[in-house]
Amino acid sequence: MSRDERRLTSFDVAAKAGVSQSTVSRALSGSPTITEATRTRVIEAARELGYVVDERAARLRSGKSKTIAVVVIGRAGQGAASVNPFYYSLLGSVCTAAAQRGYQALVSIQSEPEHFFGQFIERGQADAVVVLGTATNREAWRYFDDYRETQARMAFWGSPFDGPGYVRSDNKAGARLAVERLVQGGYKRIGFIGETDGAQRQFRERYEGYCETLEAAGLPCFDAVTASGETREAQGAGAVKALLAQKTGYDAVFSACDAMALGALTALREADKSVPGDFGVIGFDGLGVGAHSSPPLTTIEPDFAEAGLNLVEAALGGADEDRDRRVSVHLVERASAR
Amino acid sequence: MSRDERRLTSFDVAAKAGVSQSTVSRALSGSPTITEATRTRVIEAARELGYVVDERAARLRSGKSKTIAVVVIGRAGQGAASVNPFYYSLLGSVCTAAAQRGYQALVSIQSEPEHFFGQFIERGQADAVVVLGTATNREAWRYFDDYRETQARMAFWGSPFDGPGYVRSDNKAGARLAVERLVQGGYKRIGFIGETDGAQRQFRERYEGYCETLEAAGLPCFDAVTASGETREAQGAGAVKALLAQKTGYDAVFSACDAMALGALTALREADKSVPGDFGVIGFDGLGVGAHSSPPLTTIEPDFAEAGLNLVEAALGGADEDRDRRVSVHLVERASAR
DNA sequence: CTGAAAGCGCTTACAG
DNA sequence: CTGAAAGCGCTTACAG
């Protein structure tokens, strides 16, 4: 209720409980070497005084920080407004997963080269760092890919690079789910939109899954179609136009990401193709906005809670733990495939 | 490159630069009492060694933490998945605003009563705390409303409560923009959906702005219409159905929030009302998903960057600064009003 | 302008 | 099981 002038310390609690300061520390930190009676007395004294330990001191002394630094990469020149909902959801999952493991989350949104910073562990502020965000900010990813040479306890999502600590969706399984769903809907000539060059490793994996599934189904798979554009949506719209112009007789597309799929939907509407009747579309990412498009977008969604847990574990585990971490995905049935 | 076994300290830098440890500290912290020549030498030594100050020690000693704790309130029983994109954007803006003022952001997502926790300042982890999130988690807001009795340096967004430190949109101005836009579109019987009882102070303000603007335009204003439902969208859809059933001849609605407006759009489509031809809809919040609804939703959006800055300043300023902080809003012209 | 010293509030060997 | 003491790595009076 009242605001004390002097900060309460463990000595105040010790005095009140009639024990030494070290006993207070042990009692409050859950040391097993303390009698239950003593512990209760100390906890009660602390409660009455409104005392909580000063984490700066506790962490300095113990050498730990019980914190995970989470760096969210945005588009250069745009800041927080450029972070898409997918990464915010992932951020939320990481914070939650960290809390479940007893860690706090120090969040930093980084877009500009002059502010790239990763030395949270060296500053004693974090025990591990998770980096996530748009693959399009190449400079940022280059910075963190270099930086990881100096630190093992890191994990990544969204990077165009690869290596230990990189966590991602099970892209092939996702592609399979999507393409099988399209096949099951009776579509015969299924295209793929999204670039498959080095930039987006995830996209390449989705493309591979697309081809494999189609081949297994005895259906033809086609070259990936792309188009340039400012935004992912413009790219998706352009790709669908290009694909329609090909006159291969496409009747469906699997899009490498939802943002492009949304653009595809717009282009299809303009081309008077009815979705899902004439043409099927399935995206990838599980963006919430897809639920409001017309028609609502059927998509592949990674399990966010699992993604958060994987990122936290990979970061805490360090580079030693060199396994390929794949997050499971599932089909979100909406209305863009018949 | 190499991973040192022993942590580097300011003594190592001192030895390398040929100065005392206190000089290293002063040089690196930007103390004006240091010669430029000395500072350069120290900085260079630190750079070569790869030294950065241990913030736990620096903050313990200085008594500051240069951190803002950001608590994001989710729906009980649902966690991070229940945090909507609006609050994630706000979270991002707060992190960015904090960084601009030289603060870091410690983020904690809280949904369950047993994990409500606000004592970041007492733990020495933050200099101020910002709480934001859904007004529907009453218990959480009650907790933080109680907690603020013990701490001045707090700011809030989304609370059903009121008082110093509560930051919100300029709701009346927003309502005016929306209703004037509807009037300008030629709509004559404009309804309001959203509850106006105590729960959502923001909604009441929007309703008041709605009435005032309509009266000023010489048009009738009506009682707010609501409907119960699991989600905001279901509530919006229900409200529109109820409103259509009234046969007052409504030809537009101003919705207290976008989520309800999205539901309204669905209900209107089902009722074969063409939007914006037969019926106009304008929401409030600026949700990104509104850009993909059919038709895309015209809405009122608060300035997120300004909101973040306001929250950070209000929190840092403490309760002394007892002014009513209003964040400016603007009309996002999309296609649900002719 | 710089150095030697104290001390922030804890945790953790070291004794008993 | 508990206490007295050292020390984590800084910042900041206090001197000079």
Over residues A72-88, the pLDDT tens digits come to 999 988 878 878 888 99
Bridge partners (DSSP) of residue A282 are A254, A298
pLDDT of res. B321:
61
pLDDT confidence tier of residue A169, bands split at 50, 70 and 90: very high
Q: Looking at residue A135, what is its pLDDT?
A: 84
For residue A38, what are its two tokens?
A: 């003593």
The 10s digit of each residue's pLDDT in A268-292 is 999 999 999 999 999 999 988 888 8
Q: What is the pLDDT of residue A126?
A: 95
Q: Is B85 on the interface with A (CB under 8 A)?
A: yes
Q: What is the chain A residue with the closest CA to B308?
A: A80
Cβ B152–A3 below 8 Å, yes or no? yes
Q: Is the CB of A35 under 7 A from strand C?
A: no
Q: Which nucleotides of C are covered by protein (CB under 7 A)?
A: 1-5, 7-13
A55-CA/D9-C1' distance, Å: 15
* B284's tokens: 């409030």
User: Please, which pLDDT band fits residue A294 given cuts at 50, 70 and 90?
Assistant: confident
Tens digits of per-residue pLDDT, B94-118?
999 999 999 999 999 999 999 999 9
Average pLDDT of A260-264?
95
Looking at chain A, which residue has its C-alpha nearest residue B119?
Answer: A52
Q: What was the pLDDT predicted at A1? A: 35
Average pLDDT score over chain A: 91
CATH superfamily of B10-53: lambda repressor-like DNA-binding domains (1.10.260.40)
Task: Give the residue, A112 or B319, on which the prediction is more confident.
Answer: A112
* Contact flag, residue B25 CB and nucleic strand D, below 7 A: yes
Q: How far is B212 from chain A (nearest CA, A)?
A: 32
| Mean pLDDT computed over A124-136 | 93
Q: How far is B3 from chain A (nearest CA, A)?
A: 7
Query: What is the percentage of chain B residues whose pLDDT exceeds 90?
Result: 75
| Confidence at residue B241, expressed as pLDDT on a 0 to 100 scale | 95
Query: Given 3-state DSSP classes, what are the helix, strand and coil percentages for chain A, each rounded to the nearest 5?
Result: 45, 15, 40
Structure tokens at B20: 């005392």
Cβ of residue B28 near strand D, that is under 7 Å? yes
Q: Which pLDDT value is given to residue A322?
A: 64
**Chain A touched by B268 (CB under 8 Å):** no
Cα–Cα distance measured from residue B258 to residue B265, given in angstroms and rounded to the nearest whole number: 10
The model's pLDDT over B22-41, given as tens digits with 9 standing for 90+, comes to 999 999 998 888 888 889 99
Separation in Å, CA of B161 to nearest CA in chain A: 19
| pLDDT tens digit sequence for B264-305 | 999 999 999 999 999 999 999 998 888 888 899 999 999 999
Query: What is the CA A54 to C1' D1 distance in angstroms?
Result: 25
- In whole numbers, what is the pLDDT of chain B averaged over residues? 91
Report the residue of chain B nearest A118, measured CA to CA: B52
A171-302 classified as CATH 3.40.50.2300: yes
Provide the CA B55 to C1' C3 distance, Å, integer. Answer: 23
A77 touches chain B (CB under 8 A): no
Q: Do B95 and A79 touch (CB under 8 A)?
A: no
pLDDT of B322: 64
Share of chain A above pLDDT 70, in %: 96
Residues 208-267 of A with CB under 7 A from strand C: none
Read off the pLDDT band of A143 (50, 70, 90). Answer: very high
Q: Return the closest nucleotide (C1') to the Cα of A32.
A: D1
Domain residue extents for chain B: 10-53, 67-161, 171-302
Chain B 81..120 CB hits on strand C (< 7 A):
none
pLDDT at B4 over 70: no
Q: Which residues contact A284 (CB under 8 A, 6 or more apart)?
A: A169, A174, A175, A178, A206, A254, A255, A256, A257, A258, A261, A299, A300
Common-topology check for domains B67-161 and B171-302: yes
Which of helix, strand or coil describes residue A257? coil
Higher pLDDT, B87 or A322: B87
Question: Which CATH architecture is the domain A67-161 placed in?
Answer: 3-Layer(aba) Sandwich (3.40)
How many angstroms separate the CA atoms of B257 and B194, rounded? Answer: 8
> pLDDT value at position A121?
94
pLDDT higher at B215 or A160: B215
Whether residue A276 is preceded by a cis peptide bond, meaning omega within 30 degrees of 0, is yes
Among chain B residues, the shortest Cα distance to A99 is held by B108
| Cβ of residue B54 closer than 8 Å to a chain A Cβ | yes
The pLDDT of residue A4 is 45
Comparison of pLDDT for B321 and B98, the residue scoring more: B98
A18 touches chain B (CB under 8 A): no
Which residues in chain A (172-201) have CB-CB distances under 8 A to chain B?
A: none
